[in-house]
């Protein structure tokens, strides 16, 4: 097997920056429900936002293996890579399907971190995960479009300048790029408080006129354009979950080696050891699947079902690791200063896997579609 691991040096390069933004920084950001501005800006200055952007547009074009290591390492250091993941990867839709004009205008500034591109507005109150039956509409008027939308659970919508909006045109689902500096007044945003600090909002748009130049890809081709990015999005989600798991596992092992009760280290007890061993094995197995997918992507091979498997396995391994960390830390697991409770909350974001199971049933096993 040819491992697609062109990532030598990435962990080492990131380490000093991640040491500056340790778990205490993330605890404060989480408690304040704030955007991690200082960390985000530091990552921008260090050049990580150009990971998927071609060199001709100011990026480094380093690819998905590097991106997956970046998000894993942030979480493994006790951080939350969600905003960094969004800024690195949402612009891929523009890289793959944007017009020359859109790419020239936005990609260099996104690569530098000067323009935040953090939001995709797909989910609706009535449609949930089903992006084929959107109620939000795009109606042609003259040489432009009139957009009306009701979206829910949209991450970072209050912290981004650029947003991709999915709406139903006559031809089918279509993507639009909104510059919220320009049209933000007509884009109502209301926070939806979640268990984790994902800065989710509802988004309401009422008869917003945009020029045809705001469209990304062909009218009616929106789902196809978005789906081109799904394999990489899944592998990055897997890497984030693996990073969370490794943070908790490393912390738990350290605690088990140093915490004494009744004159003994708690790490001698099988009741502590076995859950950690199980968690370790499952995280390592999920990681192999993650690198297998990256290897296939690097060789230009199809990896739809395996990317879904990598995400499901990694999120389940992380969930099991969280349970083992709770057992290891006992009551202290629930105290904010130990970070287990924060990682427990952040980990909930990764556990929704039903639609990926449907995909695996169909693509890997050939079972009839739900």
Residues near ligand FAD (CB under 6 A) are: 120-123, 128-129, 153-155, 194, 198, 200, 349, 352, 354-355, 358, 370
Least Cβ distance, residue 160 to ligand FAD (angstroms): 10
Closest CB to ligand FAD: residue number: 128
Residue closer to ligand FAD (CB basis): 5 or 358: 358
Least Cβ distance, residue 31 to ligand FAD (angstroms): 18
Residue closer to ligand FAD (CB basis): 132 or 261: 132
Contact assessment for residue 152 and residue 126, using Cβ atoms and an 8 Å cutoff: no
Least Cβ distance, residue 356 to ligand FAD (angstroms): 9
What's the rounded Cα separation, in Å, for the pair 368 and 370? Answer: 7
Residue closer to ligand FAD (CB basis): 2 or 370: 370
Residue closer to ligand FAD (CB basis): 10 or 314: 314
Residue closer to ligand FAD (CB basis): 121 or 324: 121
Residue closer to ligand FAD (CB basis): 179 or 362: 362
Least Cβ distance, residue 327 to ligand FAD (angstroms): 26
- How far is CA 330 from each of CA 50, 255, 321, 327, rounded to the nearest angstrom? 42, 11, 14, 5
Residue closer to ligand FAD (CB basis): 46 or 135: 135
Residue 265 gets the label, from left (phi > 0), alpha (psi -120 to 50) or beta, of: beta
Least Cβ distance, residue 123 to ligand FAD (angstroms): 4
Least Cβ distance, residue 229 to ligand FAD (angstroms): 13
Among the listed residues 80, 91, 268, the one whose alpha carbon sits nearest the alpha carbon of residue 163? 91
Contact assessment for residue 64 and residue 294, using Cβ atoms and an 8 Å cutoff: yes
Least Cβ distance, residue 130 to ligand FAD (angstroms): 6
């Amino acid at each position: 097997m040819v491992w697609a691991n062109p990532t030598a040096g990435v962990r080492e390069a990131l380490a000093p920056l991640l040491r500056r933004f340790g778990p205490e920084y993330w605890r404060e950001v989480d408690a304040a429900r704030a955007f991690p501005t200082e960390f985000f800006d530091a990552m921008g200055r260090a050049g990580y936002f150009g990971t998927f952007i071609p060199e001709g547009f100011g990026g480094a074009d380093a690819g998905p293996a590097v991106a997956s290591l970046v998000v894993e390492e942030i979480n493994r250091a006790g951080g939350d890579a969600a905003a960094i993941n969004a800024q690195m990867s949402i612009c891929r839709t523009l890289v793959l399907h944007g017009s020359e004009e859109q790419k020239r205008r936005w990609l260099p500034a996104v690569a530098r971190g000067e323009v935040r591109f953090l939001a995709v507005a797909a989910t609706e109150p009535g449609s949930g995960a089903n992006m084929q039956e959107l109620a939000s509409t795009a109606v042609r008027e003259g040489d432009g479009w009139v957009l009306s939308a009701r979206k829910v659970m949209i991450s970072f919508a209050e912290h981004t300048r650029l947003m991709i909006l999915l709406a139903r045109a006559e031809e089918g689902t279509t993507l639009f790029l909104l510059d919220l500096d320009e049209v933000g007044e007509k884009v109502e945003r209301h926070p939806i408080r979640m268990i984790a600090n994902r800065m989710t909002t509802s988004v309401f748009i009422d008869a917003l006129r945009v020029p045809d130049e705001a469209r990304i890809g062909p009218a009616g081709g929106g789902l196809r354009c978005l789906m081109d990015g799904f394999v990489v999005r899944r592998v990055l989600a897997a890497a984030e979950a693996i990073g969370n798991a490794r943070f908790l596992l490393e912390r738990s092992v350290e605690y088990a080696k140093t915490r004494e009760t009744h004159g003994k280290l708690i790490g001698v007890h099988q009741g502590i050891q076995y859950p950690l061993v199980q968690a370790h094995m499952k995280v390592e197995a999920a990681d192999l699947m993650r690198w297998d997918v990256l290897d296939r992507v690097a060789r230009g091979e199809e990896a739809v079902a395996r990317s879904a498997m990598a995400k499901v396995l990694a999120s389940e391994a992380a969930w099991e690791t969280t349970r083992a960390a709770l057992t290891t830390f006992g009551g202290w697991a629930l105290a904010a200063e130990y970070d287990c409770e924060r990682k427990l909350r952040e980990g909930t974001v990764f556990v929704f896997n039903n639609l990926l199971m449907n995909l695996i049933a169909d693509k890997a096993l050939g079972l009839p579609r739900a």
